[in-house]
A and B are shown apart, each in its own frame.
Chain A
Amino acid sequence: MSSLLESLAFQKRDSVLHRLDPRVKLAYAILMIAIAAVFCVDPTTLRWEWRYSLPYIVLFACQIPLAVLGKVGRLWLRTLKASLPLALLIVGTNLLVVWMYGQLDVYQLERVVGMGFFFLALVASFSIFTLTTSPDDLSLALEQMGVPFWFCFIFRAALRFTPLMAREARITIDAQRARGLELDKGGPIARARRYVPILVPLIVNAVKRAWDMAEAMESRAWGATGKRMSLYVLRLSGRDYLALCIMLFALIMAIYVRMFFQVPYLLPYILPLLEGLL
């Protein structure tokens, strides 16, 4: 679990993706969902229907070169590996439901496989986003998009202080164990109570920290004016506009394909082939 969190944390690298504006990368995350919608939404009834798997496989496959471009390949693979169980769970439960209704056929299988790949494509794009975007830049992007400053500040402060609080938690656990506290004894309720000596100091320190911060913030003119000026400013470069164009093109292509071509079903073709081999 901790390795999953680790592989989602920002990695400082020098890559094309790292140099893109975080707003562009945010748009890319939205693009994923948009393209999925293109293939899911029935143009006549406007209802969301899973049907194909090829588009999502392609969507997922397109993430691979991006991960390489962002120089975050190894960690990206680790995230995917960690989310594989969940993907299989989605596929599995959906199959089970379909089977219970007695409607299991190769098209349902195709549908469910499509769902699974969409999930993986989503995880893949989200992972690329978090691995190549520093939280600083992200909060700056939010600020520039009009999110109120106090919210962005809380976001940044949380990122800043969470590792510190984790460290304090470890120290507190050590200190209480040194006074004879045994955390792994007893049933679930007793065990929960044993965590009180850990939680109380943590919470108290968090409150004290908030107070200290408030003092320091006031002493550095917090609330002086309504018009705050930020030292850093994100500006879209040529590279960013190019990326946006590519994304727009991809979306248009997806719509075009959907409107004028029949998307082939994969499994009805592959399964007989496999059967033939076996």
Chain B
Amino acid sequence: MPIVEVEGLSFTYKGSRKKALDNVDLSIEEGEFVILTGPSGCGKTTFCRCLNGLIPHFYPGDFEGQVVVAGLDTREHEIWELSQHVGLVFQNPENQLFCLTVEADVAFGPENLGLPRHEIRKRVNWALKATGMWELRHRAPHELSGGQQQRAAIAAVLAMRPKVLVLDEPTSFLDPAGAAEVLSIVARLNKQHGITVILTEHRLDMAAALADRVIVMDRGRVVLNGPPGEVLTSEEARKVGIGIPKVVRLYELLAGRGLRLPRVPLTPREMALLVAEVAGIADSA
């Protein structure tokens, strides 16, 4: 049973005439790492909000179809219920941290649930350690770098113990170092803790290698859905206009001149290894 099941999802914001999402069908298995990408306005952000119930409960509009996460239909459960299964991390790290210390922010969610104090403490400690924020737990948000702030926001969401972590362009406002920090934590949460990850991202050169699948959206529809190597080398991807990593473009250029590598590399190191293999270099192992 997939952990996220979306069927025929269409949504139009109240007061808008255009469909933000148009007949989206998707299913995501537990433990997958999925990247959602596409040009601005393609509906990625709207889709993220459909996963934790902000749509339809916080944003009114025309909702068609069905979204089922961890067995719960989002139309029939309140946001606070869904938040215990799906965590949503937003683009702007500053506006997600509203307490005076990191630890207080991480505790915010469990406190709202009225859990017993020792349970809150357990979850807070776990979330802080899982995101590498334990040493920084008493710092105020303004004392943190962008990458640290976003990690604190992730910890705050993790304290709800969701099975699915949805991140809406979390590295948008970060510098490359901060982006790398955040992506590596997210990858670790997926690989070591088995948390399903749905990541909206433009920086495919940094993120593509982490994903099991890449989903490309355009104008509210899903246009591509498959493994990164397949999606990034497709004609459709080029037409839609997403940031194809240089590594993939080089793969295509080499193939165009007759040098076909066994698979599509997603990192520079991978490409070098494949080239060395083809060139028959002994120490390419």
Asked if A and B are interacting partners, one says yes
B-contacting residues of A (Cβ < 8 Å)?
134-136, 153, 156-157, 159-161, 163-164, 209, 212-225, 227-233
- Alpha-carbon distance A55/B104, docked complex (angstroms): 43
Question: Which of A212, A220, A228 touches B95 (beta carbons < 8 Å)?
Answer: A212
Q: Main SS of the interface on chain A? A: helix
Residues of B within 8 A of A209 (CB): 95
Question: Which of B87, B95, B98, B111 touches A231 (beta carbons < 8 Å)?
Answer: B111
Given contacts A163-B142, A212-B95, contact A220 B100 (CB under 8 A): no
Size bracket, chain B contacts: 35 or more
Q: Are A220 and B157 in contact (CB under 8 A)?
A: yes
Residues of B within 8 A of A163 (CB): 142
> Top 4 closest A-B pairs, CB basis?
A212-B95, A220-B109, A224-B80, A221-B80
Q: Are A215 and B104 in contact (CB under 8 A)?
A: no
Nearest CB on B from A103, distance (A): 52
Q: Are A161 and B112 in contact (CB under 8 A)?
A: no
Contact with A along B128-158 (1 / 0, CB 8 A): 0000000000001110000000000100110
- Alpha-carbon distance A157/B95, docked complex (angstroms): 10
Q: Are A164 and B142 in contact (CB under 8 A)?
A: yes
**Other A-B pairs beyond A219-B83, A223-B80, 14, CB < 8 Å:** A156-B100, A160-B100, A161-B98, A164-B94, A212-B92, A218-B83, A219-B157, A220-B108, A221-B84, A228-B111, A228-B114, A229-B110, A229-B113, A229-B114
B86-102 interface with A by 8 A CB criterion: 87-88, 90, 92, 94-101
Question: Which of A160, A223, A227 touches B99 (beta carbons < 8 Å)?
Answer: A160
- Alpha-carbon distance A135/B88, docked complex (angstroms): 29
Q: Are A219 and B113 in contact (CB under 8 A)?
A: no
Question: Which of B87, B110, B140 touches A219 (beta carbons < 8 Å)?
Answer: B87
Q: Are B160 and A220 in contact (CB under 8 A)?
A: yes
The closest CB in chain B to the CB of A231 belongs to B107
Any chain A CB within 8 A of the CB of B244? Answer: no
Residues of B within 8 A of A220 (CB): 83, 108-109, 112, 156-157, 160
Residues of B within 8 A of A227 (CB): 114
Residues of A within 8 A of B120 (CB): 229, 231
- Alpha-carbon distance A164/B80, docked complex (angstroms): 28
Residues of A within 8 A of B79 (CB): 218-219, 221
Q: Main SS of the interface on chain B? A: helix
A-contacting residues of B (Cβ < 8 Å)?
52, 54, 57-58, 79-81, 83-84, 87-88, 90, 92, 94-101, 103-104, 107-117, 120-121, 124, 140-142, 153, 156-157, 160
Residues of B within 8 A of A161 (CB): 98
The closest CB in chain B to the CB of A158 belongs to B98
Residues of A within 8 A of B100 (CB): 134-136, 156, 159-160
Nearest CB on B from A3, distance (A): 20
Q: Are A231 and B114 in contact (CB under 8 A)?
A: no
A-B contact list, 15 entries, CB within 8 Å: A135-B100, A136-B100, A156-B99, A160-B98, A160-B99, A163-B142, A212-B96, A215-B90, A216-B95, A220-B112, A222-B112, A224-B114, A225-B114, A231-B110, A232-B107
Q: Are B117 and A231 in contact (CB under 8 A)?
A: yes
Residues of B within 8 A of A215 (CB): 54, 58, 90
Q: Are A218 and B98 in contact (CB under 8 A)?
A: no
- Alpha-carbon distance A97/B89, docked complex (angstroms): 63
Tell which of A134, A160, A214 has the most Cβ of chain B within 10 Å.
Answer: A160
- Alpha-carbon distance A217/B108, docked complex (angstroms): 9
Q: Are A229 and B83 in contact (CB under 8 A)?
A: no
- Alpha-carbon distance A220/B57, docked complex (angstroms): 14
The closest CB in chain A to the CB of B109 belongs to A220
Q: Are B157 and A224 in contact (CB under 8 A)?
A: no
- Alpha-carbon distance A219/B96, docked complex (angstroms): 10
- Alpha-carbon distance A95/B275, docked complex (angstroms): 93
Nearest CB on A from B95, distance (A): 4
The closest CB in chain A to the CB of B52 belongs to A219
- Alpha-carbon distance A220/B58, docked complex (angstroms): 13
Residues of B within 8 A of A164 (CB): 94, 142
Residues of A within 8 A of B87 (CB): 219
- Alpha-carbon distance A214/B57, docked complex (angstroms): 13
Nearest CB on A from B33, distance (A): 21
Question: Which of A213, A218, A222, A229 touches B54 (beta carbons < 8 Å)?
Answer: A218
The closest CB in chain B to the CB of A140 belongs to B104
- Alpha-carbon distance A219/B78, docked complex (angstroms): 10
Q: Are A221 and B107 in contact (CB under 8 A)?
A: no
Q: Are B112 and A231 in contact (CB under 8 A)?
A: no
- Alpha-carbon distance A219/B160, docked complex (angstroms): 10
- Alpha-carbon distance A106/B69, docked complex (angstroms): 82
